[in-house]
Amino acid sequence: MPAYRPPKIRSSEITPREVYLKRREFLGAATFGAMTLYGAGKASAAALTTVRSKYTVDEKLTPIKDVTTYNNFYEFGLDKGDPAALAGKFKPLPWTIKVDGMVNKPGTFDIEALMKEFPIEERVYRMRCVEAWSMVIPWNGFPLASLLDKVEPQGSAKYVAFETVVRPEEMPGQAGLFQSLNWPYVEGLRMDEARHPLALLAVGLYGETLPNQNGAPVRLVVPWKYGFKGIKSIVRITLTDQQPKNTWQVTNPQEYGFYANVNPAVDHPRWSQATERRIGESGFFGASRHPTLPFNGYADEVASLYDGMDLRVNF
């Protein structure tokens, strides 16, 4: 199918949701290509052929300009604008993910091959950062469970550990002077969380391959947890019987935990988690505030994973 080329319009002049949905109507079929709304860092962006999924939310999409310029990716710097400004040297392809540990079929997999093997779905998810801001993002990717099935987890595997690439020559936040966290950035999920259909390995957003600043070429998206669980630019996934360390818990255990499920009833020690600032929307005083929902609005799907657990303790 030939790629649809949208007319040239400046991103400030469009309403992304309308344009995005109109384009889907235009194409009509179950698959659709990609569009270019935003110019920065687009040299390597490629259109993805994606299939719709049942996972969507009826809320206004955060404009692509905000999704790609307001980022947390400490490997490129601490300020929200640093990743977009400083990730230009990063080379997301070619790329492999090593999957090892308690599996019958460990392997090192080429991301482009995985993107051909598994259908790329569109998933519109809310994303809630522990810093009390949020977005609504149309991701493209495949379920983490698809990759886990491929390597055949052993019965002893209880957790899944993830690791981000270390490349100080391409990631200025990893180089000497600008050192902030201990690299590599690491994260983890319990096995049942990792196998949950909502847990996504994202390879794109808004119908194109991921910009470097959003975690190219592949990052985790776990929409019922705080954003820091969504580890970017993953090079290794290890199945294990031990609860993995995660970077923010190790860095500041008084403030961050392993589970990190979105919970408006448990405040961060330094701020309330009851509401969130929706990036890209304006209210009377700056960005508009939305109430934060238990499990970020995904309680019906995931609350049963935590039956009997004290959610205040496992913050």
Ligand X SMILES: Nc1nc2c(c(=O)[nH]1)N[C@H]1C(S)=C(S)[C@@H](COP(=O)(O)O)O[C@H]1N2
Q: Which is nearer to ligand X, 224 or 228 (CB)?
A: 228
The answer to the question of residue 129 lying near Mo ion (CB under 5 A) is yes
Q: Among residues 74, 95, 159, 228, which is the contact residue for Mo ion, using CB under 5 A?
A: 228
Query: Which of ligand X, Mo ion, none does residue 121 bind (CB under 5 to 8 Å by kind)?
Result: none
Query: Which of ligand X, Mo ion, none does residue 209 bind (CB under 5 to 8 Å by kind)?
Result: none
Q: Is 74 annotated as a binding residue?
A: yes
**Concatenated DSSP letters for 203-218?**
EEETTEEPPGGGTTT-
The answer to the question of residue 83 lying near Mo ion (CB under 5 A) is no
SS3 227: helix
Which pair of tokens denotes residue 161? 């550990």
Phi and psi angles of residue 13, each rounded to the nearest 5 degrees, phi first:
-100, 0
Q: Is 230 annotated as a binding residue?
A: yes
The interface mask with ligand X, positions 151-180, x = CB under 6 A, is -------------x----------------
Q: Which is nearer to Mo ion, 129 or 221 (CB)?
A: 129
The answer to the question of residue 185 lying near ligand X (CB under 6 A) is yes
Q: Is 232 annotated as a binding residue?
A: yes
SS3 189: strand
Q: How far is the CB of 73 from Mo ion (least distance, A)?
A: 10
Q: Is 214 annotated as a binding residue?
A: yes
Positions 74 through 113 that interact with ligand X (CB under 6 A): 74-75
Closest to 136 in 3D by CA, of 314, 303, 297, 244: 297
Contacts of 29 (CB under 8 A, 6+ apart): none
Number of residues that bind ligand X (CB under 6 A): 15
Closest to 200 in 3D by CA, of 271, 136, 148, 261: 148
Query: Which of ligand X, Mo ion, none does residue 232 bind (CB under 5 to 8 Å by kind)?
Result: ligand X
The answer to the question of residue 227 lying near Mo ion (CB under 5 A) is yes
Closest to 102 in 3D by CA, of 152, 164, 162, 163: 152
Which pair of tokens denotes residue 229? 């669980």
Three-state SS across 58-113? Answer: CCCCCCHHHHCCCCCCHHHCCCCCHHHHHCCCCCCCCCEEEEEECECCCEEEEHHH
Cis link prior to 217 (omega < 30° from 0)? yes
Q: Is 286 annotated as a binding residue?
A: no
Which pair of tokens denotes residue 306? 């935590």
Positions 202 through 261 that interact with ligand X (CB under 6 A): 214-215, 227-228, 230-232
Q: Which is nearer to ligand X, 256 or 306 (CB)?
A: 256
Q: How far is the CB of 69 from ligand X (least distance, A)?
A: 9
Q: How far is the CB of 233 from ligand X (least distance, A)?
A: 6
Given a contact cutoff of 8 angstroms between Cβ atoms, the answer to whether 203 and 115 are in contact is yes
Q: Which is nearer to ligand X, 114 or 136 (CB)?
A: 136
Given a contact cutoff of 8 angstroms between Cβ atoms, the answer to whether 219 and 210 are in contact is yes
The answer to the question of residue 73 lying near ligand X (CB under 6 A) is yes
Q: Write down the residue that tokens 């300020």 correspond to.
A: 79
For the annotated binding site for Mo-molybdopterin, the residues are 71, 74-75, 129, 164, 214, 219, 230-232
Residues that bind Mo ion in the complex, under the rule CB under 5 A: 72, 129, 227-228
Residues that bind ligand X in the complex, under the rule CB under 6 A: 71-75, 129, 164, 185, 214-215, 227-228, 230-232
